[in-house]
């Protein structure tokens, strides 16, 4: 049922050959992911280890992620893909191979196993691009941000789900992720974390889900009851209208989560679902637990929760809130060991540990964040020193080209971005604006480097790269730097700043054929 939106938005040789062809780097092992710390239902059914023990591959585009999957000896050869940078439609293409089944416009983990996808370095942002897990098992996704994935409008990806799982999926651990939208169904978004069509043994931990009409679901309909055994712990649900989560059948466990501003409903147990809800903190929310929008009821076991400024609606024919004094209606036997934090400290410990970019910290059960033990597959000896990022190859096509733009601050020039001099720069008249590089005849470009001037690094917060001949979006991102996209022949390319923390200063807008 559509609900009104009430958002308060504020064979290593083969792998090596394919990786080289795609421009990705095989890296030496380093302690970048704490994959030994899986918890909850993902520890059952043989456990979840992802790509532990496999080759580590560095990827900076979606195409490189797909190339890493396709370059394995088989679809089950363990692999750890370390991702850094902004992954978007412009740099995510289909790659073919015997060990993969990929598609453009989505990160496709389909018919594969034994994979870890982990954000490293400055972080990994999947911008308007969803992660789709289908007919796969033993998958770890860690330390990534997935945002603004749409099912309608443009561009679309993954049915509008930030992370979606369907069709015989087993053993998935999503950890320290940030999943966010900018609205609800009417704005083109769907769920942040959806599981359907026989998806089992999943854990979502230390993650942030925010600014969405729908947090996520287990089961796509009242007849899709083959899903379950899902653990949600130490997550922050913030400014979510409903589905935090929605459970249709199956068994779930929610503990030590901080729920803030659940605007219409929260944990919705229906169609025979059972959920243990213990030691959570519910704050400034409505109808945080119960059966909603159906007469097919589910059940719950509650203990140790805090309800802080929670309101409850009256029961009705399709509305069965658990409060105002929630009582258990079932018993859920949890098959794994866990040590929950006291509910009173959950807001603080979740604030310090949840989401991408928090150092993979976890709680010790005593309300104190701890740095986790490293991946047991990581060697104890220090890794060899590896070189820094490789500069683009070939000539900077901007040198000697023309330039113009939409606005400029007094005393700056468009031409400053293509003069090869980092001490000169262009600034827009405010915090947003655009600058273009142009040629007299069509020129092939597949990579740009935007360098901010000294003292202004990090000011640019959101941008688009446009084919100014057609208006097509080639790439998007959140920080200035390198962007790659399929080689495009054009006469003019535009760097459009859509958000900044101050007045940007672009020293160089470099363009390269490769």
Q: What angle do CA 329, 330, 332 make, to 5 degrees?
A: 145
pLDDT digits (tens, 9 = 90+) for 111-136: 999 999 999 999 999 999 999 999 99
Task: State residue 16's pLDDT score.
Answer: 38
pLDDT at 347 over 60: yes
Task: State residue 390's pLDDT score.
Answer: 42
pLDDT digits (tens, 9 = 90+) for 62-110: 999 999 999 999 999 999 999 999 999 999 999 999 999 999 999 999 9
Q: What percentage of the chain has pLDDT greater than the value 90? A: 75
* pLDDT tier at 10, thresholds 50, 70, 90: very low
Q: What is the pTM of this model?
A: 0.71
Query: Of 117, 292, 145, 118, whose CA–CA distance to 207 is shortest?
Result: 145
Q: DSSP string of 108-152?
A: EEES-EEEEEEEEEEEEEEES--EEEES-EEEEEESEEEE--BSS
* Mean pLDDT computed over 234-242: 98
* pLDDT tier at 373, thresholds 50, 70, 90: low
Task: State residue 79's pLDDT score.
Answer: 96
Alpha-carbon span 253 to 232, nearest angstrom: 6
Query: Of 164, 149, 256, whose CA–CA distance to 202 is shortest?
Result: 164
243 has catalytic annotation? yes
Q: What percentage of the chain has pLDDT greater than the value 70? A: 89
pLDDT at 1 over 50: no
Out of 236, 243, 270, 447, pick the active-site residue.
243
* pLDDT tier at 476, thresholds 50, 70, 90: confident
Alpha-carbon span 234 to 207, nearest angstrom: 7
Least confident of 23-37, 211-225, 374-388, 470-484: 374-388
Least confident of 3-17, 225-239, 311-325, 453-467: 3-17
pLDDT at 2 over 60: no
Alpha-carbon span 414 to 421, nearest angstrom: 13
pLDDT at 443 over 90: yes
Cβ 465 vs Cβ 473: under 8 Å:
yes
Residue 4 vs residue 90, higher pLDDT: 90
Task: State residue 393's pLDDT score.
Answer: 56
Task: State residue 7's pLDDT score.
Answer: 42
Task: State residue 8's pLDDT score.
Answer: 44
Task: State residue 211's pLDDT score.
Answer: 97
Task: State residue 374's pLDDT score.
Answer: 58
Query: Of 2, 1, 34, whose CA–CA distance to 375 is shortest?
Result: 34
pLDDT digits (tens, 9 = 90+) for 264-298: 999 999 999 999 999 999 999 999 999 999 999 99
Alpha-carbon span 495 to 417, nearest angstrom: 11
- Quote the mean pLDDT of the chain: 88
Alpha-carbon span 444 to 461, nearest angstrom: 27
């Amino acid at each position: 049922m559509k609900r009104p939106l009430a958002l308060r938005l504020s064979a290593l040789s083969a792998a090596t050959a394919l990786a080289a062809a795609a421009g990705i780097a095989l890296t030496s092992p380093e302690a970048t992911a704490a994959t030994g710390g899986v918890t909850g239902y993902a520890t059952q059914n043989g456990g979840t280890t992802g790509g532990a023990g496999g080759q580590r591959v560095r990827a900076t585009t979606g195409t490189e992620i797909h190339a890493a999957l396709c370059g394995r000896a088989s679809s089950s050869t363990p692999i750890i893909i370390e991702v850094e940078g902004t992954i978007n439609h412009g740099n995510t293409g289909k790659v073919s191979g015997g060990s993969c089944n990929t598609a453009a416009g989505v990160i496709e983990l389909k018919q594969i196993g034994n994979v870890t996808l982990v954000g490293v370095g400055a972080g990994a942002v999947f911008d308007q691009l969803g992660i789709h897990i289908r007919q796969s098992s033993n998958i770890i996704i860690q330390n990534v941000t997935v945002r603004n994935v749409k099912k309608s409008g443009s561009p679309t990806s993954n049915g509008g789900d930030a992370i979606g799982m369907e069709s015989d999926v087993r053993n998935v651990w999503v950890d320290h992720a940030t999943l966010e939208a900018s609205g609800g169904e009417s704005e083109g978004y769907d769920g942040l974390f959806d599981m359907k069509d026989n998806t089992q043994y999943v854990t979502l931990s230390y993650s942030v889900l925010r600014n969405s009409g729908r947090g996520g679901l287990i089961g796509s309909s009242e007849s899709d009851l083959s899903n379950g055994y899902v653990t949600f712990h130490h997550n922050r649900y913030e400014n979510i209208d409903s589905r935090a989560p929605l459970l249709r059948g199956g068994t779930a466990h929610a503990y030590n989560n901080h729920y803030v501003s659940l605007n219409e409903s929260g944990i919705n147990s229906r169609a025979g679902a059972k959920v243990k809800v213990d030691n959570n903190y519910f704050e400034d929310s409505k109808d945080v637990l119960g059966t909603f929008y159906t007469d097919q009821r589910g059940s719950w076991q509650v203990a140790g929760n805090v309800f802080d400024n929670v309101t409850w609606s009256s029961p009705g024919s399709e509305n069965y809130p658990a409060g105002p004094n929630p009582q258990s209606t079932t018993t859920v036997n949890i098959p794994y060991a866990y040590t929950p934090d006291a509910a009173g400290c959950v807001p603080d410990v979740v604030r310090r540990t949840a989401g991408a970019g928090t150092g993979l910290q976890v709680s010790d059960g005593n309300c104190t964040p701890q740095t986790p033990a490293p991946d047991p597959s990581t060697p104890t000896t220090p890794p060899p020193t590896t070189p820094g990022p490789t500069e683009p190859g070939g000539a900077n096509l901007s040198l000697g080209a023309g330039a113009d733009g939409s606005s400029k601050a007094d005393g700056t020039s468009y031409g400053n971005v293509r003069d090869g001099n980092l001490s000169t720069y262009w600034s827009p008249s405010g915090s947003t604006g655009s600058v273009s590089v142009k040629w007299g005849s069509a020129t092939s470009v597949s990579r740009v480097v935007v360098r901010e001037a000294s003292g202004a690094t990090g000011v640019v917060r959101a941008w688009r790269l446009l084919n100014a001949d057609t208006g097509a979006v080639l790439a998007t991102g959140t920080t200035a730097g390198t962007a790659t996209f399929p080689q495009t022949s054009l006469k003019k390319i535009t760097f459009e700043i859509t958000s900044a923390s101050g007045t940007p200063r672009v020293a160089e807008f470099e363009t390269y054929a490769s």
